Amino acid sequence: MVESNKIYTLCVDSEFSGIRLDQFLAKRLPKCSRTCIQNMLEQGQVKNSEGALSKKHQSMKVSFGTVFRVEIFPPKPCELKPISMLLDILYEDEDIVAINKPAGQVVHPSIGHQEDSLVHGLLAHCKNQLSELAGHQRPGIVHRLDQFTSGALLVAKNDLSHRHLSEQFAQRRIRKTYWAIVYACPTPLAGRVEVHMGRHPRYPLRMSVSLTQGKVSITRYRTKARSKCQKYSLVECFPETGRTHQIRVHLAHLGNGIVGDHIYGRPHKDLSRQGLHAYQLSFTHPTTNENVSITSKIPEDMMIFLQLYFDESTIRPLF
């Protein structure tokens, strides 16, 4: 059991020699999630003989005989103010809650959103009973959705649930389904995108595809409908990894940017935000081990666009 306010001394034996630092820490501290380990590196809680390590060291290979000193700090008290807001609850029990996030709302506090993030509303709704493993600014947050992406978001109410769900995401055992309205039509109509992704070399707020740099990202997709004017398509996407802006970048890489996406696609007069919706999450419940599927129906603004440009007979069976 990993306890707060304690120091652990971890020596690399032959079994773990040559693996990444973050993988080594995860194996030796199995109660710590990936996010928790990244936070510890970010805050200088992991040290070797040369001093404190940082997040940039997470991929370094550990060597036999190396000793790491890990300080586990007690969780910081939550400094965020609970703010009552109307939340669209898709599912809730004493371990998890699933929210239908509207487009335009940020998940956690950021510049310009210090009191209107989803986290503020969750703190009020859950009476501060949220996991702290993702840090005191992101209580309960297991995964994220972009500000202008709508749909199903899973939140952990306690640390046990958070660890269990984080492992499922890391092991690609959570099935994620998204709907995207794109320009033109993907070629081929169905396929798999597997590319490296990283920060854009010139625009740090954007992500880009690289031949060798960055992390591997994978999305499967299939085209479900084409518009009457053949200018747009409705695409079902199944991301296997969870990189920042992944689906948006992958569809743009195919030449089919998302309608309304001001960064990777093009704005559109009939859709004020990117036409991307997290439709369904299927996972194993962290305490009952039952299979759970949570569905968020396609939002009104995307449905209005589909009704404007697509034949109703092709859209109605999908929803």
Residues tagged active-site: 146
- In our burial notation (b when 16+ CB lie closer than 10 A, e otherwise), range 140-172 reads bbbbbbbbbbbbbbbbbbbbebbbbbbbbbeee
Cβ-Cβ contacts under 8 Å for 3 (sequence gap 6 or more): 72
Q: How far is CA 215 from CA 174, 199, 241, in A?
A: 19, 10, 10
Residue bearing tokens 């439709």: 279
**CA atoms of 246 and 144, how far apart (whole Å):** 12
**CA atoms of 169 and 185, how far apart (whole Å):** 30
Cβ-Cβ contacts under 8 Å for 104 (sequence gap 6 or more): 147, 148, 273
**Helices of type H across the chain:** 21-28, 34-42, 118-125, 159-170, 246-253, 300-309, 312-315
**CA-based torsion, 191, 192, 196, 199: positive or negative:** positive
Q: Provide the token pair at 180.
A: 């995207």
Q: Are 198 and 207 in contact (CB under 8 A)?
A: yes
Three-state DSSP at 278 gives strand
Residue 295 is which amino acid?
Answer: T
**CA atoms of 139 and 6, how far apart (whole Å):** 22
Left if phi > 0, otherwise alpha if psi is -120 to 50, otherwise beta: which for 151?
left
